[in-house]
Structure 1
Amino acid sequence: MIEKLYQSIEKLSGSEARNLLINMMIKIKNMRESKDLQEELLGELYSLYDEALGVSQSKMEIAFNTVHIACGESTAGTLRYGLGRGNKVIGIPEFFSIGSIWELHKDVGRKHRYEWLKDHINMEMDYLEEEYERKITKTLEEIDAIPGDVPIVIWTADNAEEQTGMRYFMYLLKEKPNDVLLINTSLAYQELFVVHDDQYFHHTGTIYPEQLKEMYKKNVAKLLSVEERDRYQREWILLTESKEVLRIWQNKQITFVNESHFDSFIITAIQKLHAEQGHKDFILAAKIIGEVLGLLKGSVFDAFLEYRIRELVYNGVFEIKGIPKDMRSYSVRVKNNVETLSE
């Protein structure tokens, strides 16, 4: 058995091995902190172990009475932990605020999106080549296989990624007879919990599992009518007529903007960091991105900001030191002749 375990681990890609380790560490941490959930978490660890060995999951599939769909594997993992047994969670490994979504519900659109991401976005651990297509295909198959007699809950929030994703899910479910319910976690958080003036949750993945569970228990999910589902499906089709690659959530709607939309925030951030230095030295790209994410409250994908930093280098706004393999491998600084560009 030990030999089989070695062989199974050797077959994992870098990203798969990393995700497996992260999931195991999170569950062990949760077991140490919550004695009440130890039995359930131990079962989940056994499932991860069996998955690593390639054991068929169909033999140990836990019965579920509700299916939940969310944007992002991290958000899906948070929901799985918060909701517990009886709930199947499907998380699509996508980032719908960036990249082309032109004709994404068709093979030609998926290929077009993949090519744009490959040409513009740095993905760690060869994510695009090793996992992206395989995981997308698996997720679409999972959604297609949802039984027609179970309710489906779509989780969204007030951001372009989840709002775009929600409309995509609605389109994928257009032939399904299931009841479809919608939970907007931004609104639910304001309704159920104490919100400070500077606190606003723009993304489902930033909310604690216990709070997501409370939202679900409090029955904040809205059952969508046939007309509402049709409207979201039509909105998806309209969105996919454009080949623009950046979307923001503005005035309660998804808005296409130029891909340089966040450049001024990047320049403002690096000028602020230069001022703190007292001189204009090179600054790690990851540090600049962290500063921008703080300014924008995390409402943009960090890898897109890294792409824009490279574009500012190519366009002569920044100087570069290092090789831009990823945001931690190089540094930049503003050139003297663009000191006031963000003003």
Structure 2
Amino acid sequence: MNENLRNSINQLSESEAKSILLQTMLRLKKIPESNESQRQMIKDLHVWWNLKFAQSSKKCTEMEYKTVHIVCGESTTGSLKFGLEHGNKVIGFPDFFAAGPIWKLHEEEGRTHRYEWLRDHLNIEDDFIEKEYQKRFSKTLAELEAIPDHVPIVLWTGENAGEQTGIRYLLYMLKEKPNDAFLINTTLAYQELYNTNEIQYFCFHTGEVHPEKLNDIYQKNLPEALTLEERSRFEKEWITLSNTKGVVRILEDHIIKEVGEDYFDELLITAAQNLHKQKGKDFIRTGRLIGEVLGQIDGMVGDSFLEYRVRCLINQGVFEIKGILKAMRYYRVKLRE
């Protein structure tokens, strides 16, 4: 057992290891804070450990899972793995498609183009782009190809441009697969199952939903399999998207729209103006500024893209800087007078 566990840990990438450590510490931190019994919390930790390591310590055969779930984003992948019951395999796509080029992403040329843009423009912790992005992307594509033809596939999405773009890309990459494919829109399913006249909650992203509720949604709100016509429509929509050259997408009236990469600049400037009114004309922590904007846009893009736009505004002379542009925690900004 110890040897198998050691081998499983050695096979983890750096980002996977840090993600597991973070999730473990968060669950341990909740034990004294939660109303649940410590016994139940420890039991939940053991279940999570079993999902992470006990199953990964042996080679997964076709008989070990009955359904494959595919989702975009690492944190969402972790939530889904924790929430779903045994017999469900989760494939997490290590990308979020609201920002960055998607031109010809279904071809090697397009994947290289996206990698180079992300590498040259975004500051992501732990050098993820340089060290792991291409490897993880290729590994996930190989996992999709290896799905047995008889296993049903469930794709998860939400009312945001990243996940909506992602499912169109994924369905295109699965176009030769004869498997039944199901599509769960977490935003709509959550509203149907949990919203009441007194309580209304709009979750834009699958990752916002508690793991237990993700399992509940899967058990109670799984739609009919996509028809061939529906799959063909998604595939054609992907081809249209993949011919675009822009780097930012938003979801407007359920339609994916390409916008200029300066789309969020005015929000950054307005947020800085408001913080100056509250705090005076002192330099503002870049993370604080970006956090203010993230709260307004409900995660339409990530913090790394907004940090890139802050750097662009610095280069344009909109912001003054104090510190070094190594990462957002290393510098502060203020509006030029």
Do Structure 1 and Structure 2 share a fold, with TM-score over 0.5? Answer: yes
23, 46, 58: which one pairs with 1:42?
46
2:240 matches 1:215: no
Q: Which moved more, 1:31-40 or 1:210-219?
A: 31-40
Q: CA deviation at 1:37?
A: 7.9
The CA distance in 2 between the partners of 1:5 and 1:177, in whole Å, is 35
**Gap runs ≥5 in structure 2:** none
**Residue identity matched to 1:91:** G
* 40 and 103 in structure 1: CA distance in 2 versus 1, 3 angstrom threshold: same
* 191 and 295 in structure 1: CA distance in 2 versus 1, 3 angstrom threshold: same
The CA distance in 1 between the partners of 2:294 and 2:63, in whole Å, is 38
Q: Which residue of 2 aligns with 1:93?
A: 94
Q: Which residue of 2 aligns with 1:339?
A: none
Q: Which residue of 2 aligns with 1:340?
A: none
The CA distance in 1 between the partners of 2:146 and 2:44, in whole Å, is 26
Q: CA deviation at 1:60?
A: 8.3
Q: Which moved more, 1:34-43 or 1:168-177?
A: 34-43
* Deviation digits for residues 45-79 of structure 1 (CA, Å, limit 9, x no counterpart): 2675679xxx8540688811111100111101111
Q: Which residue of 2 aligns with 1:199?
A: 201
Q: CA deviation at 1:86?
A: 1.1
Do the aligned residues in 1 keep the contact of 2:4 with 2:57 (CA within 8 Å)? no
2:230 matches 1:228: yes
Runs (4 or more) in structure 1 with deviation over 4 Å come to 1-14, 26-41, 46-51, 59-62, 195-198
251, 256, 259: which one pairs with 1:257?
259
The CA distance in 2 between the partners of 1:4 and 1:70, in whole Å, is 27
**Residue identity matched to 1:239:** L
Q: Which residue of 1 aligns with 2:22?
A: 22
Say what the alpha-carbon RMSD is for the aligned residues. Answer: 2.9
**Residue identity matched to 1:42:** H
**Residue identity matched to 1:163:** Q
The CA distance in 2 between the partners of 1:284 and 1:18, in whole Å, is 25
The CA distance in 2 between the partners of 1:113 and 1:224, in whole Å, is 29
The CA distance in 2 between the partners of 1:7 and 1:216, in whole Å, is 32
Percentage of matched positions with identical amino acids: 50
Q: CA deviation at 1:183?
A: 0.5
Q: Which residue of 2 aligns with 1:159?
A: 160
* 13 and 324 in structure 1: CA distance in 2 versus 1, 3 angstrom threshold: farther
**Residue identity matched to 2:259:** V
Q: Which residue of 1 aligns with 2:239?
A: 237
Q: CA deviation at 1:19?
A: 2.4
Q: Which moved more, 1:13-22 or 1:86-95?
A: 13-22
Q: Which moved more, 1:232-241 or 1:186-195?
A: 186-195
Do the aligned residues in 2 keep the contact of 1:179 with 1:223 (CA within 8 Å)? yes
Do the aligned residues in 1 keep the contact of 2:8 with 2:53 (CA within 8 Å)? no
- Once the two structures are superposed, the pairs formed by residues 105-116 of structure 1 within 5 Å of their partners are 105-116=106-117
**Residue identity matched to 2:240:** L
The CA distance in 1 between the partners of 2:187 and 2:3, in whole Å, is 48
* Deviation digits for residues 152-200 of structure 1 (CA, Å, limit 9, x no counterpart): 1100011000000000111011001111010101111111112667731
Do the aligned residues in 2 keep the contact of 1:31 with 1:41 (CA within 8 Å)? no
